[in-house]
C-alpha cells in the first residue's frame, strides 16, 4: 500500500484535552490558511482519534481552537464514513429525534443516552479548499452533530436533562481523570 494512503499514518498522536479544559468550552475560529499546517493538523487528528479508538475528533480536543473535525464512523446500515471537514456548518437537521448512546474522547469512560436528530447535513471544505457537503443518518448523523457541537464550545453532556444528566455528571465526578473542584 502506498505511503500516506491511510489517514493519520504520518500523524502524531497529541494529548487529549479532557472535560475541564477551557478550550473545550470556547467556540473555535474559522480556518483562514489552507496550507501545510492545516494538512498536518488533520493528519495528527486522525492519528489521535485512531489511537484513542474514537469515531470523531474536533480540533479543540487536542488544544487547537480551529473549526476542523475528522471522522471515521459507521452509520446504522454499517456503511463507513471517513473524512474531515474544515469550517463546517450544520445546515440542516431533520427526521425524528433519537435517544442513543453517546460518549466523547474528552469525557472518557462515560456514556449517556443523548437526543439527536436522525439526519444531518453539514457543509464545509476539505483541507485543500474544496467545498463539500456531507449528509449523515443514524449514528453518523449523531457524530456530525456531536463534532459541530465541539466546535461551538459544546459537549454532549449539555444536551442531557433530568436523571440522565445527573447520572452522567455523577460518573464524571467519580472518573479517575476528574479535576477536583
Ligand atoms: Zn466529543
Residue 16 lies in a domain: no
Establish whether 102 is a catalytic residue.
Answer: no
Q: How many structural domains comprise the chain?
A: 1
CATH, residue 40: 3.90.45.10
Residue 9 lies in a domain: no
Task: Please indicate if the annotation marks 104 as binding a ligand.
Answer: yes
Residue 7 lies in a domain: no
Residue 35 lies in a domain: yes
Each residue's pLDDT tens digit in the chain (181 positions)? 455 568 999 999 999 999 999 999 999 999 999 999 999 999 999 999 999 999 999 999 999 999 999 999 999 999 999 999 999 999 999 999 999 999 999 999 999 999 999 999 999 999 999 999 999 999 999 999 999 999 999 999 999 999 999 999 999 999 999 865 4
Question: Residue 1 C-alpha to ligand 1 middle, in angstroms?
Answer: 31
Question: Residue 2 C-alpha to ligand 1 middle, in angstroms?
Answer: 31
Residue 115 lies in a domain: yes
DSSP string, the chain: --TT-STTTT--PPPPP-TT-GGGGSPPBPP---SHHHHHHHHHHHHHHHHHT-SEEEGGGGT--BSEEEEEEE-TT--EEEEEEEEEEEEEEEEEEEEEEEE-TTSTT-EEEEEEEEEEEEEEE-TTS-EEEEEEEHHHHHHHHHHHHHHTT--GGGG--HHHHHHHHHHHHHSTTPPP-
Q: What's the whole-model pTM score?
A: 0.95
Residue-range definition of the domain harbouring residue 126: 22-174
Question: Residue 154 C-alpha to ligand 1 middle, in angstroms?
Answer: 9
Task: Please indicate if the annotation marks 143 as binding a ligand.
Answer: no
Residue 15 lies in a domain: no
Amino acid at each position: 500500500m502506498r505511503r500516506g494512503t491511510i489517514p493519520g499514518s504520518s500523524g502524531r498522536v497529541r494529548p487529549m484535552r479532557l472535560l475541564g479544559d477551557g478550550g473545550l468550552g470556547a467556540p473555535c475560529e474559522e480556518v483562514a490558511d489552507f496550507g501545510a499546517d492545516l494538512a498536518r493538523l488533520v493528519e495528527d487528528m486522525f492519528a489521535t482519534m485512531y489511537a484513542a479508538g474514537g469515531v470523531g475528533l474536533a480540533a479543540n480536543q487536542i488544544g487547537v481552537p480551529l473549526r476542523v473535525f475528522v471522522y471515521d464512523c459507521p452509520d446504522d446500515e454499517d456503511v463507513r464514513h471517513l473524512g474531515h471537514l474544515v469550517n463546517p456548518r450544520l445546515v440542516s437537521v431533520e427526521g425524528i429525534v433519537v435517544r442513543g448512546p453517546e460518549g466523547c474522547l474528552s469525557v472518557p469512560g462515560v456514556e449517556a443516552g443523548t437526543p439527536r436528530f436522525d439526519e444531518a447535513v453539514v457543509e464545509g471544505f476539505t483541507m485543500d479548499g474544496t467545498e463539500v457537503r456531507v449528509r449523515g443518518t443514524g449514528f453518523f448523523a449523531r457524530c456530525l452533530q456531536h463534532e459541530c457541537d465541539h466546535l461551538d464550545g459544546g459537549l454532549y453532556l449539555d444536551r442531557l436533562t433530568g436523571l440522565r444528566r445527573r447520572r452522567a455528571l455523577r460518573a464524571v465526578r467519580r472518573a479517575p481523570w476528574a479535576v477536583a473542584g
